[in-house]
C-alpha cells in the first residue's frame, strides 16, 4: 500500500497568500496523471511540464496512476508556481528524495521541459505568507531569490537554477541561502534619471506651488488651462519632486508589482514612487482592477504614487465615477461570488483638462468660440462629488510672450523643490508615527480635530468662506488638511490665517463655484 506524501507551497488571493499542501499518491493502475483541488488551466498543464522536466533531468517518472491534490481543495488555485512542489512530491514517491528531508521546506517555481526553473509572479507575497505560517526554508527560482529574500530575517531562501540543483541540495551540494540588504536599494539618490525637471518649465508659478503642496501632503490636484500652457509637462515633472519611499511603502508596492508581473529581476524592490499615466480609452475594470480572477488595476499600481489622467473630461463618466470611493477610502474592494478581494489604493489623483471644448475660455489672447450650453455640458462631465474629493484645483493660463521668450532666467529646479517636500514629509512622519498614517491627506475626522486645531481668526475666515462658497463637510475637512500641509511646508507648528486663506484659494476655481 502506497503512502501519500505532502509537500508545502503557497497560493495567492489578492495580495495575501495562504499555505497549500501538495499531496501526491501513486496508485497501482493504468498510467495517468490527474490534478485535483480546483486547479486552473496553467496548473493542469503542469502535468506535461513536470513529466518532461523529471525525465530530462535524469530521473524516472512513475509508470502508474499519479494523483495530485492541492489542499485546501475548496479554494481556487492559479499560476505556474506549483510545478516544482509537484515534481518534488513525485521524486519522493520514486524515493529519489526522502519525505523527512523535504517536510521542513516549501517549494515555489515553474519548470521548463528541460528541468530549468523559471521565475514566477508574486514570489514576495508567497514567501511572506509562508513565513507567517512558520516555514523557515523556501526554494525559489534563482531569478526570484533576491525578491524572496526581502522577506527578511527568520526565513532562509534557496535560489536554484534547475530541478537537479534542488535534488542535489538534499545530497551533498548544499545551496547557500540568499541574503539581501534592503537598505542598499532604498538609498535616496536624486541622480536617478528624471527626464523632466521643473527648471525647464517656464512661468506657471501658482501651478508649480500647487504641485509642491500636493507632493508634500499626498493631495489630489486638478490643473485647468488652455492648450499648450504646460499642464502635461508639469505633470511629468511632478514625479521628480516626490519624496523617496519609506521601507513599509516600498514593500507594499513590491508585493503589488510582483503579483502583476511588473517587477524587474535586476531591481527586486520598488524604489521609486509609481507614476501611472492612463489613456482616456481605459475601461473601468482596467482602472480599478477586476476580472474573473481579480487582478490589481491602475489605482492599485499607483499606490503611494500618482495616477495621472490627462484630458480628464475625455474619460467616460462611469470611469471617473468609480474613482470616487477609492479616492476617499484609499482602497478598493472587488467582490466576487465566492470571495471579495481588497487592494490598497492610496494614490494621488492628478488631472489636467481644458476649461471648455475649444480650450480658450478665459484666455486673454484668443477668443472662446463655445456657447454657454457647450461649456456647461463639458464641465459637467466632472461631477460635484468627484470635484469635492480633489483638494487643489489650479488654473494654468496661457504663457505670455515675455515668459515664452525669456530664456535667461532659469526656473527653480526639481531638486530644490523636492528638498522642501521631503522636509514636510518628515514632519508628518514624525507627527503620525503612532497613528498608522504617513501624510496629511490620510487624516480622518478624529485626527483632523487633533492635529488641525484653529484659533478664533482662522475659524472666522472659514465661517465666511463656508457661507460664501457653500462648503460641504468633505470640502471643509479637505481645506483643513490642505492648510495643515501648507503650514508644514512653512515649518509652522500651528495653522495660521495665511495658511487657511491659501488653502481656500486653491479650492475656488470656476469649476467649483
Does residue 280 contact residue 315 with C-beta atoms inside 8 Å?
yes
Other CB atoms within a 10 A radius of the CB of residue 466 amount to 15
CB 71 within 8 A of CB 20: yes
CATH class of 198-505: alpha beta
How many Å apart are CA 268 and CA 245, to the nearest integer?
Answer: 14
Look at residue 406 in the predicted model and tell me its pLDDT.
73
pLDDT the model gives residue 173:
87
DSSP per residue, 317-361: HHHHHTTHHHHHHSEEEEE-SS-EEEEE---EEEEEE-SSSSS-T
CATH number for 5-180 (one of 3.10.105.10, 3.30.230.10, 3.40.1190.20, 3.80.30.20): it is 3.30.230.10
Which residue ranges in the chain fall short of pLDDT 50?
A: 1, 191, 512-513
> In this predicted structure, what is the pLDDT of residue 512?
45
**Which pLDDT belongs to residue 401?**
76
The alpha helices in 15-174, defined as continuous H runs, are 41-44, 46-56, 83-93, 99-102, 123-132, 145-149, 163-169
Q: What confidence score (pLDDT) does residue 404 get?
A: 75
Domain locations in the chain? 5-180, 198-505
How far apart, in whole angstroms, are the C-alpha atoms of residue 5 and residue 71?
12
Residue with cell 536554484: 160
In DSSP terms, 158 is beta-bridged to 139
Return the axis-axis angle of helices 473-489 and 414-431, rounded to nearest 10°. 110
Using CA atoms, how far residue 49 sits from 5, 43, 64, 65, 141, in Å, is: 21, 10, 17, 17, 16
Secondary structure (3-state) at 468: helix
Q: How far apart are alpha carbons 513 and 511 in whole angstroms?
A: 6
If we measure between CA atoms, which residue out of 186, 99, 198, 169 comes closest to residue 419? 198
Q: Are 167 and 96 in contact (CB under 8 A)?
A: yes
* pLDDT 10s digits, 268-293: 999 889 999 999 999 999 999 987 77
| DSSP summary character for residue 203 | S
The tens digit of pLDDT for each residue in 139-188 reads: 999 999 999 999 989 999 999 999 999 999 998 889 999 999 888 887 75
Q: What are phi and psi of 247, to 5 degrees?
A: -55, -45
In angstroms, the Cα distances linking 211 to 95, 222, 320, 351 are: 64, 10, 21, 11
Asked whether this chain's domains 5-180 and 198-505 adopt the same fold, the reply is no
Mean pLDDT (the chain, rounded): 91
Q: How far is CA 58 from the centre of its chain?
A: 43
* C-alpha span between 49 and 457 (Å, rounded): 73
DSSP state of 199: G
Q: Whole-angstrom Cα distance, residue 366 to residue 88?
A: 73
Rg of the chain over CA atoms, in angstroms?
28
Q: In the structure, how many helices (H) and strands (E) does the chain have?
A: 23, 18
Give the whole-angstrom CA distance, residue 304 versus residue 154: 28
Amino acid at each position: 500500500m502506497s503512502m501519500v506524501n505532502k509537500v508545502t507551497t503557497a497560493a495567492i488571493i489578492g495580495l495575501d497568500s495562504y499555505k497549500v499542501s501538495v499531496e501526491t499518491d501513486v496508485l497501482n493502475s493504468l498510467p495517468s496523471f490527474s490534478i485535483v483541488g480546483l486547479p486552473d488551466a496553467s496548473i493542469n498543464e503542469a502535468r506535461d511540464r513536470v513529466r518532461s522536466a523529471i525525465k530530462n533531468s535524469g530521473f524516472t517518472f512513475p509508470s502508474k496512476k499519479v494523483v495530485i491534490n492541492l489542499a485546501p481543495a475548496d479554494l481556487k488555485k492559479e499560476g505556474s508556481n506549483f510545478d516544482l512542489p509537484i515534481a518534488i512530491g513525485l521524486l519522493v514517491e520514486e524515493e529519489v528524495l526522502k519525505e523527512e528531508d523535504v517536510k521542513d521546506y516549501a517549494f515555489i517555481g515553474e519548470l521548463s521541459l528541460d528541468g530549468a526553473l523559471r521565475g514566477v509572479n508574486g514570489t514576495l507575497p508567497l514567501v511572506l505568507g509562508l513565513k507567517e505560517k512558520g516555514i523557515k526554508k523556501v526554494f525559489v527560482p534563482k531569478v526570484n531569490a533576491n525578491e524572496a529574500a526581502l522577506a527578511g530575517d527568520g526565513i532562509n531562501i534557496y535560489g536554484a537554477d534547475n530541478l537537479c540543483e534542488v535534488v542535489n541540495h538534499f545530497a551533498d551540494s548544499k545551496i547557500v541561502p540568499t541574503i539581501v540588504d534592503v537598505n542598499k536599494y532604498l538609498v535616496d539618490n536624486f541622480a536617478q534619471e528624471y527626464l523632466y525637471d521643473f527648471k525647464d518649465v517656464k512661468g506657471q508659478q501658482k501651478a508649480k506651488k500647487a504641485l509642491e503642496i500636493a507632493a508634500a501632503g499626498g493631495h489630489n490636484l486638478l490643473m485647468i488651462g488652455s492648450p499648450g500652457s504646460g499642464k502635461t509637462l508639469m505633470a511629468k515633472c511632478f514625479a521628480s519632486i516626490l519624496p523617496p519611499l519609506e521601507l513599509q511603502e516600498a514593500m507594499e508596492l513590491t508585493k503589488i508589482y510582483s503579483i502583476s508581473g511588473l517587477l524587474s529581476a535586476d531591481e527586486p524592490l520598488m524604489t521609486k514612487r509609481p507614476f501611472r499615466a492612463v489613456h482616456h480609452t481605459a475601461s473601468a475594470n482596467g482602472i480599478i482592477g477586476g476580472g474573473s480572477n481579480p487582478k490589481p488595476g491602475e489605482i492599485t499600481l499607483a499606490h503611494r504614487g500618482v495616477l495621472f489622467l490627462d484630458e480628464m473630461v475625455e474619460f467616460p463618466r462611469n470611469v471617473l465615477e468609480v474613482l470616487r470611493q477609492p479616492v476617499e477610502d484609499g482602497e478598493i474592494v472587488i467582490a466576487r461570488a465566492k470571495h471579495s478581494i481588497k487592494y490598497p489604493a492610496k494614490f494621488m489623483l492628478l488631472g489636467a483638462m481644458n476649461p471648455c471644448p475649444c480650450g480658450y475660455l478665459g484666455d486673454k489672447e484668443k477668443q472662446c468660440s463655445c456657447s454657454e450650453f457647450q461649456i456647461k455640458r463639458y464641465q459637467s462631465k466632472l461631477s460635484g462629488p468627484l470635484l469635492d474629493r480633489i483638494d487643489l484645483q489650479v488654473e494654468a493660463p496661457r504663457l505670455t510672450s515675455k515668459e515664452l521668450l525669456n530664456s535667461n532666467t532659469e526656473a527653480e529646479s526639481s531638486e530644490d523643490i523636492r528638498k522642501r517636500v521631503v522636509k514636510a514629509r518628515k514632519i508628518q512622519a514624525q507627527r503620525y508615527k503612532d497613528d498608522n498614517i504617513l501624510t496629511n491627506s490620510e487624516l480622518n475626522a478624529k485626527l483632523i480635530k487633533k492635529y488641525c486645531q484653529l484659533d478664533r481668526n482662522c475659524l472666522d475666515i472659514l465661517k465666511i468662506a463656508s457661507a460664501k462658497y457653500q462648503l460641504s463637510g468633505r470640502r471643509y475637512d479637505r481645506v483643513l488638511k490642505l492648510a495643515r500641509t501648507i503650514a508644514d511646508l512653512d515649518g509652522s507648528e500651528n495653522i495660521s490665517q495665511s495658511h487657511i486663506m491659501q488653502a481656500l484659494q486653491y479650492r475656488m476655481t470656476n469649476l467649483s463655484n
